[in-house]
Structure 1
Amino acid sequence: MQDTPSESFFEEKEIHLSEYLMVFMKRKALIILVFILTVLAAVFYSFFVDPVYESSARLILDNKGSSSPITGERTDYESYHSQTMSFNTSIKTIKSSPVIKEVIEALNLDAENKDLEVNFFRQWLSNLKSNIKQLLVKKDDSRLSLEEIRNRKIQALIAQVQNKITVEQIRDTRLLTISAKDKDPKLAAAIANTLTTKFMEFNLTNKMDASKQTLAWLNQELYDIRKKLEDDEQKFFEYKQESRLFSIEGKQKLTEQKIQEFNNRYLETRNKRLGLDAKINELNKNLGSLKGVANVRSLINNPIIESIYAKVVDLEIELSRLSKIYKGRHPNIVQTQTELIKTRNSLAQEIAKEKENLKSERKVLYAREKTLEKTLTEFEKEALDTSSKELKYTILQRNVDTSKNLYDLMLSRIKESNILQTANTSNIRLVETAQIPIGPVSPNKKRNILLAMVLGIFFGCGLAFFFEYMDQTVRTEEDIHQYFDQPVLSVIPKADKSVAYGGQIDFQE
């Protein structure tokens, strides 16, 4: 299928490099014009726009760890993320409205009737926008109060000052660079220095306010803890008075000592009483015969009984000797028998008396044993009663100790807070003050002109290609063959009117 002339006209063809050169040569006037206009615009901007000066100050942000207001121990840990957050927070705080407002008031920027905008295009757009609003929108400022009007002006001034300020962190350091731009070099340095000062004061003020709030909270907590400590001590004292306990440890130790002492005395008395019972039983068994009396002598250590018993033995020996010599009715035998009977009676009386003494002593020991047993029982009951009171005593004592320790801890923290509050320490220090700049930072004339030359060439070449693309004029025989695929029958020459007939003819179309 054969292409139509219109389709073949718009068919793309391969372009040779020489054709680009031909386009440049053909549109050289346009390229030169765009180049000259761009460079002139850059020169006009660079030499007629007010120069802008920049001054910088540097701060160092030391590490600041947060701690518990009660124990004083650190509640955070050092990490790259926490450091980044700390720097970002400081950067945002430096450009915050309260700090900028302090700078405006310190430098009296709100009283000076001058434009603080340093960006030419931003200033031009701002003026254009303001003029359009004045033409299209009718504002009724009569309804606004003076305070509202002043607040709007202050907010606009704060925005302008914020646009003049740049805060950057120096990589791999704790340094912050605070830069301020202005058309006045002295004002640029003053803004940078004042901003650093006001930021440090703002940071210290916030820290002092936080310390005051913490101190107020600690004082309130200290008052509550002291009141609770007094209540716990009062309850503990009343319980000791009611229970008659001066100290649970001392009471238990004293009771144990008494129980040990009375238990030893009780056992000693009981052993003595059992010993007397054994003696009395032996006496009852052995009192029926003389041999038994001999056994009694070993149970009773009595010299009288020993002497009487020795006399009885001697009389019996004498009576046995006389019985071998005399008959039974002999006066010596009768006299000896009579004396022997008296001596035996005396021995029996002494043994009976000794027995009664033993019974009396046993009775005393028995009564003492019962008394000691009763006293020991009372002490054991008291010990059990003390043990039953120990739980409540321990609870009350623990409450008092806990409240006292917490009170001492809070008191020490309050003293430390008072010391820190009066110390006026801050983790932000000024490293370098802003100096009055010698030369402007913008406009950069060399850079602007070089950039304008490059952009002028690019814009000129672009416009040249654009116009060449939009130009659809057929100029040569090759264009007819290429776009219409038709043979050329003849060429009408373009005569030059400046020459006579028969002169040189230009065959351009």
Structure 2
Amino acid sequence: MHKDKDSKPHHHLQPVQAGKGQMAVYDPLVNAGFDDDDTIDLRDYWRILVKRRWTVLAVIAIVVVAALLATLLMIPEYRSTAQLQVSPTSGRVLAFDDFANDPAMQGRGFQEYMNSQIEILRSRTLAEQVVRRENLANHPELNGDIRQRSVLGELRSVLGTVRGAIGPDDAAGEANSARDPVEAAARRLRQRIEIQPVRNSQLLNVSVSSFDREFAALVTNALVAQFIRNNLQRRIEAGTEAREFLEEQLADMRITLERSDEALMDFARDTNIADLDERLSMARTALRRLGDRQSEVQAELVQISAWRDLIDQGRTSALDPIVNSPVIEDLERRLLEANTEYTRLSATFQDQFPRVQEVLGRIAQLEQEIEDRKTTIIENILARHDNLTAQDASLATAIGEREGGILALNERAVQYNILRREFETSRELYDGLLQRMKEVGVAAGVQENNLSIIDAAQAAMFPFKPNLPRNLALALVLGVMGGVGLALLLEFLDSSIRRVEDIERLVDRPVLGMVPLVKVKDREGKQKKRPEIIEDPEQSISFYSKTRPSSGVSEAFRSLRTSLGFSTAEGMPRTLMVTSSAMAEGKTTSAVNLATVLAQNNHRVLLIDADLRKSRLHREFNRPRSPGLTNRIALFENNGKDNGAISPTFIDNLFLMPSGNSTPSPAEMLSSDRLGKVIEGCKRAFDYVIIDAPPVLGLADSLILSRRVEGVIFVAKAGTTGKENFRVCMKRLAQVQAPVLGIILNGVDLDSPEYAYYSSYYYNYEGDSDDTEEDAPKLRQTAT
């Protein structure tokens, strides 16, 4: 079969089971599109609004009328406004900063300051002060005698009257309110106050509303004046509090100053601290000199210690004093000369020679002098080493003593400086507090108010409430919103099947056709959407395909006949069952019209009424109920003869088998094997067998019959068949593997916006709905 590339995948038939000699069985729930499409289509919303336009209009009308009545019931209210300036800082009268200048008023936190002033204007305390000052506690508007009228208020008043007649339940509450009339009046006054800051300025618009224009101006001016008085009083009180605080601080600081002065004097007297600086200078000079002397001694001691080390090592000849001594050098030169002379004489003379003896004596004398000189130098070095060591130790002791003395003097100086700084700090603080207290005293006498009235309130010429155009416009907007919301809510709460798309989302079966809703006229000429069975069979809607072949209903069933011809690979099934979820959904009408269009196509068609509980076909065709199907099952004969159970109808080629006598157990009757033989016999005798079956919900009859036929057609009525019921029916049919061919959507209202497209398709047929059967042959040839 040719497949349209734009067709949806879930419209293809998926075979589940096929036995020998039977057509394929399909599961209508396979690949069912249970997931709703999340795409928002504005046309769907427009369709809903057009469909439920009367609901939307009704809500709009109710809201607008209610707003109109409420507005007309309201007492006119007047509003008086005074303009107030709030300066960020007061004028500087003194050279120093004013104690009352709030840092928040210096620019950085001015917005917070303005918000604080607005809340003060709305405060309970200010309102009570105005009520007391102007004696407003018994004013009719503030004691509750005069109130704004409203629809709800009038209803509450009526209910209050009724409750008062029944019993004084509210007497205690009223008595409590009357105990403090000022508080009650202030509470009502605060409800009438409105504060509006002027953008990008230091101005506030203070407004009070009232039913009396003069009273509104009076209260507004009184409120602003009291606010200014309170602000000035707060600044004066702040100055008084500051002066008292400074006096307390000054007394405490005076005691602290005296104590600091006394401690400083006692310390100076006890430590004789008068010449402390001179003593420190002398001690530091002596310490410096001792240090210099110790450095010199230690430097010389280093050299002497090196020479002593050479002496200890026996290397006296390497000592600098010996090596560099001119005396030893002269003696060594003379000794060298004597040794030279001895050498010369010994070559000639013996040692006993007087001249040799003299030379030898001189040599011995020179050697002794040299040795004595070296000994003297060594002794001097050792003595000098001991002397320097003693000096170094003595200097170290002296330096330590000097440093200890200087440290003690420094500690006294530090303690003295601490006490002196405490005294000086206390004096500075005391002097500052004394000066500040004087300034506060002067500032308290020259306080200025940073609040001023720019425009005083005047009596309003016209009321600001009620505003009829604004209220009606707002009511219109709210009505539209409420109406649209209610329409959408009702639409989404509607769980019935209304469109083809609903079926496509619920089950994977094609919609074989849509049958338009027939609107017949009653005796007064008004249209009715729910036709009843008419005594004349040819006037019944079940026979529209016969009596009105050019109508939309007839065309719908001819289209259904064509769709069934392509429903399977073998063509149109010969045995068909028509069922629905419940009664009054059009299954019988659909079965009769389908049988009619098949008969009009020159086919022998048998229409069987298998609804043994609520049989209807015999009344549609004005035939007796029996003999019929139950009789045929009970008295089955294999010869294929009808035995009176099958009778012709007034429609050519269409025969009827009514339900027959009633049976106490329809399910057992339909589940018998003889029913299958009856259907097979009818199949051999007729081209098509159409079975009008009972509803699926709550009964097993249709499930049993579905296994006896080659195809099942399910009828769903638009706006009646519930989605959940439809889904349950499809599931039950799938469980028994019923060969569901598709669904007929019955009762489609082509005048509804939901079917605007289909309405344009059917309009020609609806326009010719008055045609009679005289035109049927020509139209039948066209259809076939």
* TM-score under structure 1 length normalisation: 0.51
CA contact 1:168–1:178 (8 Å) conserved in 2: yes
User: Residue 87 in 1 paired to residue 114 in 2?
Assistant: yes
Q: Would the alpha carbon gap of residues 136 and 219 (structure 1) be closer, same or farther in structure 2, given more than 3 Å must change?
A: farther
Question: Which deviates more from structure 2 when the two are superposed, residues 159-168 or residues 71-80?
Answer: 71-80
CA contact 1:58–1:431 (8 Å) conserved in 2: yes
CA contact 1:225–1:403 (8 Å) conserved in 2: yes
SS of 2:201 mapped into structure 1: coil
Return the letter of the residue paired with 1:51. P
Return the letter of the residue paired with 1:90. Q
CA contact 2:100–2:238 (8 Å) conserved in 1: no
Inter-partner Cα distance in structure 2 for 1:132 and 1:124: 12
Q: Would the alpha carbon gap of residues 16 and 418 (structure 1) be closer, same or farther in structure 2, given more than 3 Å must change?
A: closer
User: Residue 408 in 1 paired to residue 435 in 2?
Assistant: no
Q: Would the alpha carbon gap of residues 15 and 235 (structure 1) be closer, same or farther in structure 2, given more than 3 Å must change?
A: closer
Could you say which residue in structure 1 is the equivalent of 2:184?
Answer: 156
Return the letter of the residue paired with 1:106. R
**CA drift at 1:214:** 2.6
Inter-partner Cα distance in structure 2 for 1:467 and 1:243: 103
Q: Would the alpha carbon gap of residues 405 and 442 (structure 1) be closer, same or farther in structure 2, given more than 3 Å must change?
A: same
Inter-partner Cα distance in structure 2 for 1:386 and 1:70: 49
Inter-partner Cα distance in structure 2 for 1:122 and 1:56: 29
Could you say which residue in structure 2 is the equivalent of 1:223?
Answer: 251
Q: Would the alpha carbon gap of residues 70 and 50 (structure 1) be closer, same or farther in structure 2, given more than 3 Å must change?
A: closer
SS of 2:137 mapped into structure 1: coil
Q: 5+ unaligned residues in a row in structure 1: which ranges?
A: 4-13, 260-381, 491-506
What are the equivalent positions in structure 2 for 1:410-425 lying under 5 Å apart? Answer: 410-425=433-448
SS of 1:98 mapped into structure 2: helix
Q: Would the alpha carbon gap of residues 96 and 77 (structure 1) be closer, same or farther in structure 2, given more than 3 Å must change?
A: closer
Could you say which residue in structure 1 is the equivalent of 2:459?
Answer: 436
Q: Would the alpha carbon gap of residues 192 and 408 (structure 1) be closer, same or farther in structure 2, given more than 3 Å must change?
A: same
Q: Would the alpha carbon gap of residues 101 and 484 (structure 1) be closer, same or farther in structure 2, given more than 3 Å must change?
A: same
Q: Would the alpha carbon gap of residues 197 and 118 (structure 1) be closer, same or farther in structure 2, given more than 3 Å must change?
A: farther
Q: Would the alpha carbon gap of residues 98 and 457 (structure 1) be closer, same or farther in structure 2, given more than 3 Å must change?
A: closer
- Give a deviation string over 1:121-175, Cα, whole Å, max 9, x none: 6855875786688667746759x89xx9533x43332221111111122233332
Return the letter of the residue paired with 1:100. A
Could you say which residue in structure 1 is the equivalent of 2:529?
Answer: 474
Could you say which residue in structure 2 is the equivalent of 1:396?
Answer: 419
CA contact 1:70–1:409 (8 Å) conserved in 2: no
Could you say which residue in structure 1 is the equivalent of 2:674?
Answer: none
**CA drift at 1:117:** 4.7
Question: Where is the helix percentage greater, Structure 1 or Structure 2?
Answer: 1
**CA drift at 1:95:** 0.8
CA contact 1:69–1:214 (8 Å) conserved in 2: no
Aligned equivalent of 1:104, options 118, 127, 131: 131
CA contact 1:63–1:427 (8 Å) conserved in 2: yes
Q: Would the alpha carbon gap of residues 118 and 224 (structure 1) be closer, same or farther in structure 2, given more than 3 Å must change?
A: farther
Aligned equivalent of 2:80, options 55, 58, 64: 55
Inter-partner Cα distance in structure 2 for 1:20 and 1:139: 48
Inter-partner Cα distance in structure 2 for 1:447 and 1:255: 97
What are the equivalent positions in structure 2 for 1:289-308 lying under 5 Å apart? Answer: none
- Give a deviation string over 1:228-247, Cα, whole Å, max 9, x none: 222333444455566677xx
Question: Where is the strand percentage greater, Structure 1 or Structure 2?
Answer: 2
Return the letter of the residue paired with 1:415. K
Inter-partner Cα distance in structure 2 for 1:395 and 1:204: 46
What are the equivalent positions in structure 2 for 1:144-223 lying under 5 Å apart? Answer: 150-151=179-180, 153-223=181-251
**CA drift at 1:255:** 8.0
**CA drift at 1:99:** 0.8
SS of 1:423 mapped into structure 2: coil
- Give a deviation string over 1:370-404, Cα, whole Å, max 9, x none: xxxxxxxxxxxx99998775444433332221111
Question: Which deviates more from structure 2 when the two are superposed, residues 186-195 or residues 404-413?
Answer: 186-195
Higher RCO (CA-CA < 8 Å; seq separation 6+): 1
User: Residue 484 in 1 paired to residue 511 in 2?
Assistant: no
Sequence identity of aligned pairs in percent?
20
**CA drift at 1:182:** 0.9
* TM-score under structure 2 length normalisation: 0.35
Inter-partner Cα distance in structure 2 for 1:19 and 1:228: 89
Return the letter of the residue paired with 1:58. Q
**Aligned residue pair count:** 345
Return the letter of the residue paired with 1:88. N
**CA drift at 1:188:** 1.4
Inter-partner Cα distance in structure 2 for 1:98 and 1:215: 27
Q: 5+ unaligned residues in a row in structure 2: which ranges?
A: 1-25, 29-42, 91-95, 283-404, 497-516, 518-527, 532-540, 542-550, 557-584, 594-619, 622-769, 771-784
